[in-house]
Structure 1
């Protein structure tokens, strides 16, 4: 979540609360911990139970410099940074790899335009630019492997499956509203003497002693191979531009929202079949995050309106009857009482609505992920707070369990 890029809402007459020092917040692959970027460094926290695990702002690398993007690699000592804020620590077109075991930058990747998003996997670095998605190797000498063209992706929409056994990558297609799905493990490497045109030959190779397992990059050396994807699945998901993406941990599903922000659609990543169409609301909203539960049975969605919606993705035959005017379906999600006339009425009346939702304190922008308990959600907010909510599986009642200030 880029905290310093608020989306103005003409309908709002009040000033949103925010923490001036906070630039960015993101969970790791399983929501077990989260990282924040600040005007002077970064911090890492355990999500639940909440606890600050690491704070960096004093080393020379972070003296008076802002971190605008932080990407975690599970709970390892490797992180990726992009500079940001009033006085960026690093150029906005560079991805810096940090080894916290040595408290040093061990590699850097430079691109021809600003980096909008970074995701890490055990063998890959994935970078979103305005009109490209670039996959690089995560090894002793990282090299660009493949460049995918995208439509205008000014939000940096990008997602990769969090499970250790899968590497399903999702990013916007070349056509507005489309999604491209690539299985990185199915890519075939062939000998070639080429490299990505977006990796600048001038990116510096840092000459320092590197510990075993650390990474370094020298883009002036041609890549030893070019990777061609065995299959790219194109999904026509929305009419307007993609604003948010999420891939389930096992890589079987991709969820997307458009810049309109009223519907979340979930597709099968193999055949592109529409599995769920979920309605967040009827008025426009900016979707800040979409998250699958680890077991693929739930989905949570957060928006700029300070609301979090929770949807069921499995059939629940014994779901309790929510109050009128909505009736529970087999999934436990809510439906209009006029759903039986869905063939005669507008599509709105056949939509699935969240079975549980809540509004965070101060009604600020936020991102969400699932907690340790199956019926819990962790929320990170632009005002510098972390909050935990629990919810009832049947009636959808939500209760705030705790509220912490992390900055």
Structure 2
């Protein structure tokens, strides 16, 4: 049976799977099916920690409508509190912090459509007010105060994945290139860490912090799951085939792609244009020159200096086994969702082939993780 959606709950103790015929809930340790229903074509679902509250979105049978709005509800009364206009977001790139103290919602910054060049006839349906984002800016929305509070300039190209930690104090971002990953503080938007997944572009499918926010786990269209250490790293091993530095990039570093945060004026968020002035051109040129100089001179400088230019490599990694049972029916790469156990040094991976893996990782030495459990 094909899976439509897979997700972990907030503390990674349960796994929810949506299918064309209902949904299933599994506990992760031990891996046991806790609940199943065979009714409804489930497009998306989310659990509230380990409670019986599950939110479902059913797949339409005939009419498909692309909705470009985010609705904020009070789950105690199911009262609609706020409606947010967004750009088209077919991949549902959005993250909500489960913290009651730092309850933030992160999503791609809406980009307004340019005014039409001609006047449409009166009988023509109104067009979309927003277009798909062309950059990787993230809007931070306070779900308690119901107001936008910041914009983080995370990447130059559009986003492919974002994730908030459990405390609502860190945001991980990846662009559609998938080579550079960044971690920002929330809500102020200071860049804390920068990591390099690899040299070749790849779609990032899932990112997950551990419960203490000391590790970041990332899966992509490749068969490798990367684990990055948040904090000062010593010499990391680096996954096979990787090149470049194995050291950590210090907070505030801005190599190659600019990143940062903007103020909380909502009109400024939606109406801001890129700087096309002569000084803006000089700034972009100087950034390019600075990157090339760093690449050339970095080999002649002490390690502490080169760390300022080069993003960190993975601390540990996992190679997913080749699962051939559904290989012929599958089109495209295997998608996966990752999470880290809150009790043991283990990484849990669920693939679109319907396989649940558990890997052990060495928290002191890093390196390649070892497969300990597998269910299908």
Given the two structures, how large is their TM-score scaled by the length of structure 1? Answer: 0.65
SS of alignment partner, residue 369 of structure 1: strand
Which residue in 1 is equivalent to 2:118? none
| Correspondence 1:398 to 2:369 | yes
Contact 2:47 2:55 in 1 (8 A): yes
- The 5 Å alignment of 1:163-178 reads 163-175=99-111, 176=133, 177-178=136-137
Q: Distance in 2 between matches of 1:320 and 1:275?
A: 18
SS of alignment partner, residue 322 of structure 2: helix
Shift of 1:322: 6.6
Aligned with residue 262 of structure 1, among 179, 182, 188: 179
Which residue in 1 is equivalent to 2:193? 276
Q: Distance in 2 between matches of 1:92 and 1:372?
A: 41
Q: Report the CA distance shift for 1:387/1:241 in structure 2 as closer, same or farther (over 3 A).
A: same
Q: Distance in 1 between matches of 2:182 and 2:72?
A: 25
Q: Which moved more, 1:267-276 or 1:345-354?
A: 345-354
Q: Distance in 2 between matches of 1:322 and 1:301?
A: 14
Computed over aligned residues only, the root mean square deviation of the Cα atoms, in angstroms, reads 2.8
Q: Distance in 2 between matches of 1:284 and 1:160?
A: 27
SS of alignment partner, residue 344 of structure 1: helix
Aligned with residue 41 of structure 1, among 10, 13, 22: 22
| Correspondence 1:30 to 2:47 | no
Larger % of helix: which?
Answer: 2
Which residue in 1 is equivalent to 2:345? 375
Q: Report the CA distance shift for 1:75/1:91 in structure 2 as closer, same or farther (over 3 A).
A: farther
Which residue in 2 is equivalent to 1:105? none
Shift of 1:49: 2.1
Which residue in 2 is equivalent to 1:385? 355
Which residue in 2 is equivalent to 1:138? 75
Contact 1:82 1:92 in 2 (8 A): no
Q: Distance in 2 between matches of 1:173 and 1:283?
A: 26
SS of alignment partner, residue 361 of structure 1: coil
Alignment coverage as a number of residue pairs: 290
Q: Distance in 2 between matches of 1:342 and 1:150?
A: 37
Shift of 1:294: 0.5
Q: Any stretches of 5+ residues in structure 2 without a counterpart?
A: 112-132, 250-290, 299-305, 324-333
Which residue in 2 is equivalent to 1:329? 247
Q: Distance in 2 between matches of 1:397 and 1:55?
A: 35
Which residue in 2 is equivalent to 1:351? 311
Deviations 1:283-338, CA, capped at 9 Å, x for gaps: 22111111011001000011122321100002245x5767996664368xxxxxxx
Contact 2:149 2:187 in 1 (8 A): no
Given the two structures, how large is their TM-score scaled by the length of structure 2? Answer: 0.70
| Correspondence 1:153 to 2:89 | yes
Shift of 1:134: 2.3
Q: Report the CA distance shift for 1:320/1:184 in structure 2 as closer, same or farther (over 3 A).
A: closer
Shift of 1:370: 0.5
- The 5 Å alignment of 1:2-401 reads 20-57=1-38, 62=39, 65-84=40-59, 113-114=65-66, 129=67, 131-140=68-77, 142-175=78-111, 176=133, 177-185=136-144, 187=145, 228-229=146-147, 231-316=148-233, 328-329=246-247, 343-345=293-295, 350-362=310-322, 364-393=334-363, 394-401=365-372
Shift of 1:21: 2.6
Contact 2:171 2:184 in 1 (8 A): yes
Q: Distance in 1 between matches of 2:233 and 2:310?
A: 18
Q: Report the CA distance shift for 1:306/1:91 in structure 2 as closer, same or farther (over 3 A).
A: farther
SS of alignment partner, residue 226 of structure 2: strand
Shift of 1:53: 0.8
Contact 2:177 2:203 in 1 (8 A): yes
Q: Distance in 1 between matches of 2:25 and 2:81?
A: 30
Q: Any stretches of 5+ residues in structure 1 without a counterpart?
A: 1-19, 94-112, 115-128, 188-227, 332-340
Shift of 1:390: 1.0
Deviations 1:369-401, CA, capped at 9 Å, x for gaps: 001444211001111111001112214231011
Which residue in 1 is equivalent to 2:124? none
Which residue in 1 is equivalent to 2:330? none
Contact 1:244 1:256 in 2 (8 A): yes
